[in-house]
Amino acid sequence: MNLVKQSNCLSQMYNFKHLLKIFKNVNKSLKTGKIFKNLLYSLLIINCQFSILNSIAQTGGAAFNITGAAADNSAILDISSSNQGILIPRISTNERTSIIGTNGNAGNAPAEGLMIFNTTTKCFEAYVNGAWSIISCPVPCIPPDAPVAAAATNISCSSFQANMVMSVAGVTSYCFDVATDDGFTTFIAGYNNRIVNNNTTCVVTGL
């Protein structure tokens, strides 16, 4: 944490130690010396805590980093790193129902804006307007439509012309199979995953 008034705390600690040394030299035999010593250290800790809080208030927030950079004035918490991220709580949909509510009871409404990563849906969620809302989810993979084959033309004993209806947008090439059985287990030589690019016709020979 980058705290501006850390040096002030160290200075105050030095002053307290100096005062304590003077008191010991003057009053070594008194039992109250030990009490006074503890009182001084307690006051030192309290004073340093107030200095830290005052520093945070003046600089806008606390900064967590390894560079010593100050927090941005607009942030109450400024975390920076070049090779690490932030992990928010990872909770399943079932576990989400047991989150501690603002009234301190599990299962009651949490704070507005509370965020989690739902391990069931793989989505970032936030509690908004009395319900969990999705912030971000993985983009689902939607496979393209399969090309449609039309009736063959120019059919002969040894060849035919295969015709295809290319209706898939963005596709640049297609694979073309020709088999001698309905289960496509025995292929005509040269026509197993044959690339036909965007051609809508292909002459098949070697039957």
Domain ranges of the chain: 6-77, 87-136, 148-205
Helix then strand then coil, in percent of the chain rounded to 5, is 25, 25, 50
What pLDDT does residue 15 have?
56
For the chain (207 residues), the mean pLDDT of every run of 10, in chain order, is: 44 53 54 62 60 50 83 87 92 95 92 96 96 92 78 88 75 81 86 78 83
The per-residue pLDDT for 124 is: 97
Looking at residue 171, its pLDDT comes to: 76
pLDDT of residue 73: 86
pLDDT, residue 206, reads 81
- Which pLDDT score, from 0 to 100, does residue 63 have? 83
Residue 145 confidence (pLDDT)? 75
The alpha carbon of residue 177 and the mean position of all alpha carbons in its chain are separated, in whole angstroms, by 44
Alpha carbon distances (Å) from 172 to 47, 135, 150, 169, 197: 72, 35, 19, 9, 6
Global pTM exceeds 0.75: no
The whole-number pLDDT of residue 45 equals 66
What pLDDT, on the 0 to 100 scale, is given for residue 38? 67
User: Given this model, what pLDDT does residue 16 score?
Assistant: 53
* Token duo for residue 26: 């003057």
The answer to whether 99 touches 111, Cβ cutoff 8 Å, is no
